[in-house]
Structure 1
């Protein structure tokens, strides 16, 4: 079994662990979003490549309505490559992997909740430090 002092030390570092996990989760969210941006910008480069084979827009050809695609746009939240068709319609081209948007959202949400938890832990620690064992609050400042 673990010695008692090691177990107490782990409880003292709970806020630091929460902050570290929040940072790691935020980094994963950013990495996933950047991966999706690379996919979208690759589709933009392919769409902007002129020449005799440039109409309809190449990234939009994989869909059944590809022959009707006139232009495209990029939506950043959620991240996607949107093909615009005649008559004002549009559809999403499958350029961004399906795991990017939910994964980035999930990791960003987890990072936010972990950061809130770390702030709450710091507040609890500060309140415990300001209250002595006899129950009388200390005057600080």
Structure 2
């Protein structure tokens, strides 16, 4: 939901920059809006993985048929699940690992958390770079104005 709202705000911002009467300096406004959208998207992707790990951790040991963790056995063949001893979870970076008795490990998410970690990190980095770029553009504009005065 937050990504959809952020995308709509970003589209409205881009359209507003193309129309007459746009705010000046418009590149700063556009970069700040893009940074806010990227930050919202990073938060949305990270929260998707965060709550997936949280729900997997919470389902473990909660009632009948909850050991081993459902994330370690749902969607996996019986040979993969055989010999599970425990699981490890992490919220930064996102992961839910299932550990067998022989020490081998497999991810508890069939889709994996790698794309969520990469997407949230790259979106957060993009947001930071856009904010830094907007600040640099403002500073550069102020220096040029001071030099011409």
TM-score bin (small chain): 0.7 to 0.9
1:116 to 122, 132, 135: 132
Tell me the TM-score normalized by structure 1. Answer: 0.74
Alpha-carbon distance in 2 for matches of 1:54, 1:19? 46
Q: Post-superposition, which runs of at least 4 consecutive aligned residues in structure 1 deviate over 6 A?
A: none
Matches within 5 A, 1:12-91: 12-51=25-64, 53-61=65-73, 62-63=75-76, 64-91=79-106
Shift of 1:73: 1.5
How far does residue 44 in structure 1 lie from its aligned partner after superposition?
Answer: 1.2
Q: Gaps spanning 5+ residues in structure 1: where?
A: 1-5, 134-141
Which of these two proteins has the greater Rg computed from alpha carbons? 1
Q: Could you tell me how far apart the structure 2 residues matched to 1:112 and 1:33 are?
A: 16
Question: CA separation in 1, counterparts of 2:69 and 2:111?
Answer: 16
Q: How many residues align?
A: 126
Distance 2:130 2:101 in 1: 46
Gaps of 5+ in 2: 1-19
Q: Do the aligned partners of 1:69 and 1:85 also contact (CA within 8 Å) in 2?
A: yes
Task: Please say if residues 57 and 69 of structure 1, whose CA atoms lie closer than 8 Å, have aligned partners that are also in contact.
Answer: no
Q: Decide whether aligned partners of structure 1 residues 24 and 127 sit closer, same or farther in structure 2, where only a CA change above 3 A counts.
A: same
Contact (CA 8 Å) 1:81, 1:93: kept in 2 or not?
yes
- RMSD, aligned CA: 2.4
Deviation string 1:22-63 (CA, Å, 9 cap, x unpaired) is 111011101110011111111112223143x23333221144
